[in-house]
Each structure stands twice: as structure tokens, then as C-alpha cells.
A and B are shown apart, each in its own frame.
Chain A
Amino acid sequence: MTDRAVKGNRLSMLSKEDCTSMHLAALETLEKTGMNCPSKKITEVFEKGGADIEDGGKRIKIPQYLVEEALRKAPKTILFAGRNAKHDIILEDGRIHFGLGGTPTPYIRDLETGEFRRPGKKDMVECTRLGDGLPNIKFIMTLAGAFDVPYEVEYLHEYEALFKNTEKPILFSVPGGDASKRVLEMASTIVGSMDALRKRPIFGLYSETASPLSFTEANENMIHFAKARVPVAFGPMPMTGSTAPVTVAGCNLIGTSENLAAITLIQIVSPGAPVIYAGWATHMDPMTSRCAYGAPEFSLGTNVVNAAMAHYYGLPCYGFGGCSDSKFPDAQAGAEVMMNAVIAALSGINLIHDCGYLAGGSVGSMEMAVVADEIAGMVKRIVRGVEVSDETLAVDVIREVGPGGHFLSHKHTLKWVRDAFMPQLFDRTSEVTWVKAGKKQIYEVAREKAKRILKEHSPEPLPKDVQQKISDIVRRAEKDLVRTT
């Protein structure tokens, strides 16, 4: 069954006038300031599409009509497919889905020792399996990275770990054109053909600009995914006060402009190709220069404003939740994760990613992912809101029970009691029980749960021959790309 998911878009902190102002400012920015572009392939697409190319081919200035045309062509609803159709999700109109992790993290918090260490492919495999086993996680990115393989083929090994260890939709990066072709080949091998992949995209591309207003050669990946008509989520990462104005709105203007530029590129290449909107503004901590994932401004920029603009354009969108600046799955982490998760959900972000990120994305933590999964469950309950009807007001039931009676065993109670969120991790027992049970902190319980999932949960494996073909694609890439020095 396709998971259509609860709709979360109830927050409306930006007015329609605000969105129009942002949109017009982005049109002006793209037309008058433009985007830097070191990639000839991307520049060629824009040139053929009708953009002005200046500065010896390095600056792309995009006329307004091109952007408006692109926005009209982009699809408003996207099926993001699982390898198994029971994990299909729909991206549209505020339906919320939480995702495990994000792009590769330089460190992983070791599940046994709690120490930070450099992750390898085995960690990628384990994180993927954990995400596959967590009930509120609906799409998979990562909390690790395959840093123990030759760097030229890092992304192919990472995709191998992803494709083989989850049946849920995958969102992940792959830099440049060559690697994109290889990864698309992997996915089409799994679903049968490129045509089948277009109809049931079991993964999507996450591509990033180098803010402010600069494409990179790695962004050529979008051309390949647009042609294949596989979803692209384009995430700009402008930071307040460094790669963008220090104001949230100004920073979002950079993110909005970059995203509209990417959408325009994709729609010129392949009209109607699926794009997932992400006009982000991230927050630079002005003391440490770090990108602060737990900052309120980060949630405003990546979720509130981003979602408001996505709804203005009628496009599916991609934002952040479940991530923290804390270095440990502690109170700070819990508070920040709940804040960004609930804000993302109330804003109506379709893909809420980074569940399990600690230290502002420098550390992946499986314990934190388990906590974020629990929080995602609570958040989904919150955004579902309160139904007010004759049935839920239960006037007749109250009359029946009368003053001084009890509702414990009433049919109405038994019918509705399961409507409440039931914790799968958090502890609501008494202090006496807690002491008797060994005074466990929640990260310890989460660690045990993560270990249990890794021990007990396995996704349906890919057929043997498909597994072999995927390994062959990785091996061929190693032969073609790895320099032996």
C-alpha cells in the first residue's frame, strides 16, 4: 500500500505576499545577477534553452519566462517508490515522510564503544538496514560513508550498500555524469529497465550547488537524471552571513534562486521531469563558523520558508528534521530534534531528512536515529491534530456513564484507545520501576533497540543474479576509474 501519509501543512508564518516577494526577488536575481557555472555541459543546456551566457561562458543569466515555464512543467505529485511497493510514498501537498540520515558523515558514533570513528562500507550497510527496520523512517539516506574503498568509486560502493539493504525509497548523492550513468544502470538493473525506473523511481538524486549562486561540474548529474526522469532533489546550502546575506530571508533568496535555476535546467533538458523543491537557508553559527542544524533559524530557513515557497509553487519539497548540533544523544539532541522535526512536519515538508545526525552533520548516530524515529511517531500524531465530531465528542457516552462513573471499559474507549500514540522507546513507567530496571538512560535503550533491529531485521534480499550484476557494475567502475599510484 502506498503510504499517503498525514498532511502537515498547518503553519503559515509566511503570507502569500511574502512568497510573491521572495519569488520576484529570485526572478530578478537569476535574470540580473545570474549563476556562475564552470560546467560547459550545463552552460550549453541553458544557452540552447534561451538564457544569456556572459563572462566568457561562465555566467548564466536566466530570463524570467524560462523560470516560469519550468515551474509550470514540473510535476506536482511524485511517486517515490520502494523496491517493494509496500514502501511506496507520495510526495505532494504537505504529506510528511521522515528519512534516515543524509549525505555521508565524516564520523560515526560507534554503537559498541560510543567513540567517534571514521565509517566504512560495513557501517553504510548497517545504517541502511537499521533505517529499513525503523517504522517511522520512510526513505533512506545515510549516517555513515564508505570511506574504506578507493575514493574514485566511493559513491558506487555506497549505492551498492543502499540498494542491497533496503526496500524503501533511497535519496542519495552521486557526483558528475559518469558516476550518474553507472548508478542509474544499477537501479534499472533492479527494476528491469530504464523505462520501469521512470515509472517506479526507487531512488532519487540529491545534488548540491556551491553557494552563493554557483553550479559545480558535479551538478552535471542533474542532466542525466532529468533525461532518465528520475526525481532530483536539489539542495542549496547557503549559510547566513557567509555564503549568503546574514538575514534568513536573504539567505533563503539565495537558496530559492539556486533551486529555481536547477529546476529550470532540469525542465529544459526534460520537460515534466520530477523535481523536489528545496529552497533552503542554513544558519552559520557566528562564533564557530559551523553550520548549526539545531538553530531555530536553520528550521525557519530550511523548513518554514522552504515549505511556504514549495506550496506557493505547488511542488513537492525536501527539508530537515531529526538532526542536532549536540555531540551526544542527550537532552540538547532531543530538544533540537523535536524542534526541527515538528517544525518540518507542521510546515508540510514531504521529505524530512537527517534523522540521526549529530554534531551538525559531522557524526552519524544509530542511537539518535532510533530516538528520531520515536520522535517522528510523536510528531505525526501531533500534526494529525484533534478530530472534533459527534463520535469524538461522545455526548451520548458521557450521558450514559454519568457523573462519578468511569470510562475504562466502555465500548467507545476500547474503540478509540488505539488512536493515541504509543511509545515504542520512550519510558513512561514510574520512578520505582525505572530504578528497578537499572536506571537506563534513553540513549542506552535506543542502542539496545538498534542492536536488536540489526540482529533481527533483514529486508528481502535482491535476487542473486541482480546482486551479482550490481557487484559487477561496481567492479567495472573500479577497473575504469581507480588510479593505481
Chain B
Amino acid sequence: MSQQAVLDELANAVQSFDSDKVMDSTKKALAAGIDPSVIIEQGLAKGLKIVGKKFEDGELFLMHLVAAAEPSQKAIKELLEPEFKKRKGERKSAGKVVLGTVAGDIHDIGKNIVGAMLIAAGFDVHDIGKDVPADEFLKKAKEIGAQIVCASALLSTSLPVQSEIVKAFKAANMRDKVKLVFGGAPCTAEWVKEIGGDGYAENAVEGVNVIKHLLGTK
């Protein structure tokens, strides 16, 4: 099997929404001696792009996008990142993103969808879960050198934590190093402006566009 055939198989595996197939094909690609960045770009990302296009065309649903992104993320984290480390290289991505649902809130479905969309768009996504205090967003952003922090809130009572995140980044002199993007049902563009955030997105598709715009890649 040629390297191209192995990569094509991987891209097809992504479009099959089958985690086992994605993992097997990724292993096969590594065994064939293909560079991990090529495996991502010409295998996983290629498959994700096709799924993304079909979603935009209304042919596939949001669930398909998540079902393609999750196995791809798993293959990157479990199989490819260890390879990058071994080779002392670093994964090229569209950007490093810290993603979480704020403290006092355990609603994370929207956050998970945003995560899947970002993965599908080639971002290196670090999901720090739900009920996350402002300091944890800061800590993770520092640790990985994030360009973007995304924080979601679904309750009007947890919404103010978004403002605490802005304050935490200011206090740590990190405000100009990281773009802060906010969302969630009670969150509005006016609110994000009021608390001094950088971006607001009312849905996951828009979120990816806002982030690309903030990074100057769109």
C-alpha cells in the first residue's frame, strides 16, 4: 500500500465516524513511516474538511461533525502527540485553544460542540472541562502557551465568572498575549464588550470564524 493510499484510507476512516477505524488507520500510517504532521494534514484534517464541507452544505448534521472530530482528536492525543514528543518536534496547528465551562456551571454540551468544531478546523484544543474557576483557565493557558481561551456559561448566575476570567488574565499581565472568547445562552455581544473580552460567538460555527478572525487567519 502506497503512503498516499494509507493517508486516503485514514481520511475515509474519519468520514466513517468509526473510532476504531481512525485509530487503526493512524497506526498504519505511523507504521508506514509517514511524518505525524503529514498524517494530520493529509489524513485526519483532510477527512475532517470533507465532513465540514458536507455539514456546511446541509448534507450532514452537527452530530456527524462531532462524531468525526472526537476520534480524530483521540488519534492526535494518543498516537501522534507522543510521536511529536519523541522527535522533539511540535504539532503544527491552526492555534492553541483552552476551552471550558465556567465555575458554578456544569452545562457543557455547547462547549463540547465548539471543541469539536475547532478540532475539525485544525486547532489544538485543550478542553479543561466544566465547573472551572477563572484561575484554572489562566493556569492552563500559561502551561500550553495558548493564543485563545474560550469560556462558556449557560446560567445568568455563572455568567459573571466570564468577567473574572478577564480580570485574572489582566492581573497576571497575560491580557495582551491571549484572546478571550465567550459564549453560552445568557452571554451576548454587549456583555462581552462590557467585561472587556475579545470575541463573542452565538454558536459554534460562528465561534470558529471569530477565533480565526482574532488570529488574523481569516
Interface set of A (CB-CB < 8 Å, partner B) = 38, 104, 106-107, 118, 145, 147, 151, 154, 175, 210, 214, 216, 218, 239, 241-243, 246, 286-290, 362
Interface set of B (CB-CB < 8 Å, partner A) = 58, 61-63, 106-107, 109-110, 113, 131, 155-157, 159-160, 185-188, 190-191, 203-204
Measured CB to CB, the nearest residue on chain B to A158 is B156
- Other than the given A38-B131, A151-B156, 4 more pairs (CB < 8 A) read A106-B186, A118-B191, A147-B156, A287-B62
> Closest approach, in angstroms, between the C-beta of A104 and any C-beta of chain B?
6
**In the complex the two chains form, is A151's CB within 8 Å of B109's CB?**
no
**Docked complex Cα distance between A216 and B188 (Å):** 24
**In the complex the two chains form, is A106's CB within 8 Å of B185's CB?**
yes
Measured CB to CB, the nearest residue on chain A to B204 is A289
**In the complex the two chains form, is B109's CB within 8 Å of A38's CB?**
no
**In the complex the two chains form, is B63's CB within 8 Å of A106's CB?**
no
Which residues of chain B have C-beta atoms less than 8 A from A288's C-beta?
A: 62, 203
Neighbour of B156 across the interface among A104, A210, A242, A246, CB < 8 A: A104
Neighbour of A151 across the interface among B58, B159, B203, CB < 8 A: B159
**Docked complex Cα distance between A104 and B154 (Å):** 12
**In the complex the two chains form, is A286's CB within 8 Å of B156's CB?**
no
Neighbour of B188 across the interface among A107, A175, A241, CB < 8 A: A107
**Docked complex Cα distance between A362 and B62 (Å):** 21
Which residues of chain A have C-beta atoms less than 8 A from B157's C-beta?
A: 151, 154, 175, 218
Measured CB to CB, the nearest residue on chain B to A103 is B156
Inter-chain contact count A-B, CB under 8 Å?
Answer: 51
**In the complex the two chains form, is A145's CB within 8 Å of B110's CB?**
no
Neighbour of B61 across the interface among A175, A239, A287, CB < 8 A: A287
**Docked complex Cα distance between A242 and B113 (Å):** 9
Which residues of chain B have C-beta atoms less than 8 A from A290's C-beta?
A: 203
Which residues of chain A have C-beta atoms less than 8 A from B156's C-beta?
A: 104, 145, 147, 151, 154
Which residues of chain A have C-beta atoms less than 8 A from B160's C-beta?
A: 151
Which residues of chain A have C-beta atoms less than 8 A from B61's C-beta?
A: 241, 286-287
> Closest approach, in angstroms, between the C-beta of B186 and any C-beta of chain A?
5
Which residues of chain B have C-beta atoms less than 8 A from A210's C-beta?
A: 106-107
> Closest approach, in angstroms, between the C-beta of A297 and any C-beta of chain B?
14
Most A CB atoms within 10 A — which of B63, B187, B191?
A: B63
> Closest approach, in angstroms, between the C-beta of B18 and any C-beta of chain A?
18
**In the complex the two chains form, is A239's CB within 8 Å of B190's CB?**
no
- Beyond A104-B156, A106-B188, A154-B156, whether A242 also contacts B106 by CB under 8 A is no
**In the complex the two chains form, is A118's CB within 8 Å of B203's CB?**
no
**In the complex the two chains form, is A214's CB within 8 Å of B110's CB?**
no
**In the complex the two chains form, is A38's CB within 8 Å of B190's CB?**
no
**Docked complex Cα distance between A107 and B62 (Å):** 26
> Closest approach, in angstroms, between the C-beta of A158 and any C-beta of chain B?
10
> Closest approach, in angstroms, between the C-beta of A47 and any C-beta of chain B?
21
**In the complex the two chains form, is B188's CB within 8 Å of A289's CB?**
no
Measured CB to CB, the nearest residue on chain B to A246 is B63
> Closest approach, in angstroms, between the C-beta of A216 and any C-beta of chain B?
6
Measured CB to CB, the nearest residue on chain B to A217 is B104
Which residues of chain A have C-beta atoms less than 8 A from B159's C-beta?
A: 151
- Beyond A106-B185, A106-B186, whether A216 also contacts B62 by CB under 8 A is no
> Closest approach, in angstroms, between the C-beta of A454 and any C-beta of chain B?
25
Which residues of chain A have C-beta atoms less than 8 A from B204's C-beta?
A: 289
Most B CB atoms within 10 A — which of A151, A214, A289?
A: A289
